[in-house]
Structure 1
Amino acid sequence: MILSLLGFILKGILMKIPFAILGLSLIPQRWTNAITKKDIPFFIEQVLRLLVSAAVLFFVIDIMLLDLTAAAFFSSFAIILGLILIIDSRMYMYRASESSSTRRNRRGNEAAKQPKTPWNVHFNSLMGVVLIAAWVIMLFYPLTFAADLHGLAKVDKKKELEEVQDIKTMPLVTVKMADAKGDAAINKIENASYFTEGEYRLTNINDELAYTSPIEMDGFLKAGKAEYTPGYNLISAVSTDKGASTVKGKMLYAPSQYLDHDLERTIRKEYPNKIIHDSYLEPNEDGKPFFVASVGHYLKYRSGPVVDGVVLVNPETGDTKYYPKGKEPKWVDRTFTLETALEYWTYWGKYVHGWKNQS
């Protein structure tokens, strides 16, 4: 497992090197002077900058799992590139000034003009300032479309109370009770110490409410020993008498898996431009488990999550399939996540009178 991790990191960093070129000095005069004077420290600096830039790209894209959109890259790297441009320009001007002072000292402190800074050096510095300023401005950009955020929630106002849900279909088992039952079920499986419970979600299976929870890896080293998780827990939400049952199955891809078997990384590999809002385990009507990921885009820039559909992931094979909103399989209970719904509700209440009169 350790060798796999090292290979994953090395491969990821090497693949980012072509894009890490932006971390090098973009001032041609620095390269010309270094080649002419055989300035070894300059080339060592560039190699280090290349490697550090590749490592940062690897960490943000492959570890933090950044979506590969223009807005995502701007929000993550604009300020870094801006600082690189400014610092690089300042380094050139400092070394040019230092070289000029050395020449004057050699001539016996003769009066000499300060060397003129090339236009492209000033341009680099200006571009750095523009990038940083734009990055800061974009932090406040969502305030300019507060009305659009407010409109994301389609709210129907009613003066009359809704009828109470049929008590026969209401969940009688709480998440805490389900968790206790799941603990007892996990202790009965083989190599129980390798695993732990995932998050319990309420779902509808064959017209009966139930809690499902994927059996997850209990840490990096144990994931290397177990290779895959043995299935998921299924607990009735309408009967307090029934215990948890473990539905067995080989699950190579899960939220708690690592490297290429990580669930979100598997989805990101196939759909690099989609925003992953949330994911949960849901069995189909035959009891076969799938991970259902709610995916979409942002309304504007990086604010206002919009759900476009779901991606289904087969946890045994890692196969993925995207379904647009409204065309999901009938057994998929939710496309919108609870977090997205709450965010919409917050927008609706907070920006009902615009961002200047938040309520």
Structure 2
Amino acid sequence: MFVGRYGRNTAGGFVSKTKPPIKKIVISFIIVAVIEFLAFYAFLPPLNIHSMEFWEFQGFFIVAFFLLTFKIPNFEEAKIQYNIVSKIFGIIILLAVIIVIIGNVISAKIFKAGRYSSLIDIENTKFEDTIKETDTITDVALMDTDSAKVVGQRAIGALSDVVSQYEIGSDYSQIALKGEPMKVASLEYAGFFKWFNNRKNGIPGYVLVDAVKFEANYVKLDKPIKYTESGWFNDNLERHLRFKYPTAIFEGYYFELDEDGKPYYICPTMTARVGMFGGMDVNGVVICDPCTGKTKKYDLDDVPKWVDRVYDGDLIEQKYNWHGMLADGFINSVIGQKDCKKATEDYGYKVIDNDVWIYTGVTSVIDDSSNIGFVMVNARTGKAKYFNVAGAEEFSAMEAAEGQVQNLGYDAAFPSLINIDGRPTYFMVLKDKGNLVKQYALVDVKKYSIVATGTSQKDTLNTYRKLIKENGVKTSSGKYKNIEQQYKHEQVTVKDIKYINMSGETYVYITSNVGNVYKMKFSDDETIVFVQPGSKVEIFYDESNETGIRSIEEWKVQGENETNETTNEQTGKQTEEATKNNNQ
């Protein structure tokens, strides 16, 4: 028989109680504390009970210290001795495990489906009220991140001192700068040694890309950026924010500009809205000046209006999926799935009234081959709108556009949703393997067999409208609605008209009695053949052509409300005559 230190019989026992070795426990505590601080400095977990990362991180070191409080005096005896400290930390670990289990249970969708579905408030609207008609598509932002990277790299390609030390950040932020859609990315250090050599000078600037014109500019700052995601040690943006806000759960770090072009990082913070861990949603924003390191935390109602992205697109899609799937309960989302909806797998951006809106298609869970509507969410305020539009989902439209140019092997970028003459329409760019834009495409949402492609936005729009007319599709607006606001126009007396063939296309050139010259593609409107010298017409034109020749956007016989329409037989005869004269 073996008698323990306090007289307790422990014969044959695997664990026995012993007096706590104070010195060993203190040393163990210091070692664990130092290692935990170094791990915290490296991994930067939030010290917040609503984050599972906190429980995993803290739990690991509590368990490590707990094990160190045990004593194994002799490996041959295989006897472990515990003490009061071991007991206390054992209870702490048990309680933590219970809390995490209960926290996950009370956060589960099966018990809290209604809470999840109510995390987003959606206003039902009409398509035409949400997305206004456009008479021109030359001001639509179509640039995706891959294309922005190519264009942005060109902007710094000739700056040897920049290219050799820095690289453009991989994540271009979509912003609205003075009402215009832009993409912006900060320069980043190209590795540890580049940071070490340039840490005193900082990062000199950023790249700003015009998402409409596909042009990029490198902007050099008066005061360089010090805190960035590619910085090391205390120059690292995430570390800088973590030590200022140790309990904050950051959703992301988004590089943006205010209306004066000054850079900031927009860092939304998160909390659980359902139970202890469920329904993670934005509860505030930290704005950091990367040049000075100054920060300020805002409540959601107080976020400055120049900020563009508080709610990320992935979060918005997740919140809508909770709403669409769980509105009628968890059981229905698994069995039956009546009226269950979900967002499509990607999303795009639109700039409306100097705010960035995130939009995505909505499909039925039972049949996700087509959309039943669209949801649009303001990325700053979180305000959501839904409108019913049945038709092709985005990826089907992309495939339809690619099918038109399959011999060229172009890839379609994610489309923008626009309103052309009251018709919901997908507008996208077609890119080559080098992510360079080669063509444009318009696809009718409701009837996606109607696909128009072209090498310019204008040609693509004209072809699309022609296809709409040929397919007998009704539009809700007149051809000249708001056109006077889009283009210059004047009354013209035709002095001369010529048909000239160039590169397989027939162009019509009209000379007015005052000497102005106008041109258009004959295929855009074949009824132009009825215009003769002496005819009086009203011409809507674009005079951006450097040659001085004005491009005809629309025309009509003076005094009429609509463009001349003729029968197909008359048009055919006049077309043959025009072609014969052109050949001669």
Question: Is the shorter-chain TM-score for this pair beyond 0.5, marking a shared fold?
Answer: yes
Instruction: Find the counterpart in structure 2 of residue 285 from structure 1.
Output: 259
* TM-score of the pair, normalised by structure 2: 0.46
The question of whether the paired residues in 2 share the 8 Å contact of 1:234 and 1:246 is answered with yes
**Using the alignment, how far apart are the partners of 1:120 and 1:332 within structure 2?**
51
1:171 equivalent to 2:124? Answer no
Instruction: Find the counterpart in structure 2 of residue 4 from structure 1.
Output: none
1:18-52, CA deviations, whole angstroms, 9 ceiling, x for partnerless residues? xxxxxxxxx871317xx7xxxxxxx3x86356424
The question of whether the paired residues in 1 share the 8 Å contact of 2:165 and 2:194 is answered with yes
User: What displacement does 1:276 show?
Assistant: 1.0
**Using the alignment, how far apart are the partners of 1:214 and 1:305 within structure 2?**
28
Match of 2:174, SS state, is: strand
Instruction: Find the counterpart in structure 2 of residue 244 from structure 1.
Output: 216
Instruction: Find the counterpart in structure 1 of residue 323 from structure 2.
Output: 348
Closer, same or farther: CA 273–28 of 1 in aligned 2, 3 Å: farther
User: What displacement does 1:254 show?
Assistant: 1.2
Amino acid at match of 2:163: A
Counterparts of residues 1-359 of structure 1 (less than 5 Å): 29-31=19-21, 43=24, 47=27, 50-59=30-39, 61-72=40-51, 73-78=54-59, 81=62, 85=66, 87=67, 91=70, 125=90, 127-143=92-108, 144-157=111-124, 162-163=130-131, 166=134, 167-189=137-159, 190-198=161-169, 199-227=171-199, 228-240=202-214, 243-249=215-221, 250-299=224-273, 300-359=275-334
**Using the alignment, how far apart are the partners of 1:100 and 1:340 within structure 2?**
52
1:94-132, CA deviations, whole angstroms, 9 ceiling, x for partnerless residues? 75998899xxxxxxxxxxxxxx99888666645544433
**Using the alignment, how far apart are the partners of 1:270 and 1:52 within structure 2?**
23
* TM-score of the pair, normalised by structure 1: 0.72
Larger strand percent: 2
**Using the alignment, how far apart are the partners of 2:228 and 2:163 within structure 1?**
17
Structure 1: give runs of 5+ residues left out of the alignment. 1-26, 36-42, 102-115
Closer, same or farther: CA 358–52 of 1 in aligned 2, 3 Å: farther
**Using the alignment, how far apart are the partners of 1:192 and 1:120 within structure 2?**
57
Provide the aligned length of Structure 1 versus Structure 2: 304
Identify the range of structure 1 (132-141 vs 196-205) with the bigger mean alpha-carbon deviation.
Answer: 132-141
User: What displacement does 1:320 show?
Assistant: 0.8
**Using the alignment, how far apart are the partners of 1:291 and 1:129 within structure 2?**
40
**Using the alignment, how far apart are the partners of 1:177 and 1:335 within structure 2?**
24
**Using the alignment, how far apart are the partners of 2:230 and 2:56 within structure 1?**
27
Amino acid at match of 1:337: D
User: What displacement does 1:180 show?
Assistant: 0.3
Who wins on radius of gyration, i.e. which is larger? 2
The question of whether the paired residues in 2 share the 8 Å contact of 1:298 and 1:304 is answered with yes
Match of 1:185, SS state, is: helix
**Using the alignment, how far apart are the partners of 2:87 and 2:208 within structure 1?**
64
Closer, same or farther: CA 30–217 of 1 in aligned 2, 3 Å: same
Amino acid at match of 1:135: V
Instruction: Find the counterpart in structure 1 of residue 554 from structure 2.
Output: none
Closer, same or farther: CA 83–353 of 1 in aligned 2, 3 Å: farther
Amino acid at match of 2:247: N
Identify the range of structure 1 (281-290 vs 133-142) with the bigger mean alpha-carbon deviation.
Answer: 133-142
1:218-238, CA deviations, whole angstroms, 9 ceiling, x for partnerless residues? 112211112111111001011
Match of 2:240, SS state, is: helix
Match of 1:285, SS state, is: coil
Closer, same or farther: CA 58–137 of 1 in aligned 2, 3 Å: farther
Amino acid at match of 2:166: F
**Using the alignment, how far apart are the partners of 1:47 and 1:305 within structure 2?**
39
Instruction: Find the counterpart in structure 2 of residue 3 from structure 1.
Output: none
Percent identity between matched residues is 22
**Using the alignment, how far apart are the partners of 1:194 and 1:117 within structure 2?**
57
Match of 1:306, SS state, is: strand
User: What displacement does 1:205 show?
Assistant: 0.6
1:113-161, CA deviations, whole angstroms, 9 ceiling, x for partnerless residues? xxx9988866664554443344344344420433222211212345767
The question of whether the paired residues in 2 share the 8 Å contact of 1:146 and 1:355 is answered with yes
Larger helix percent: 1
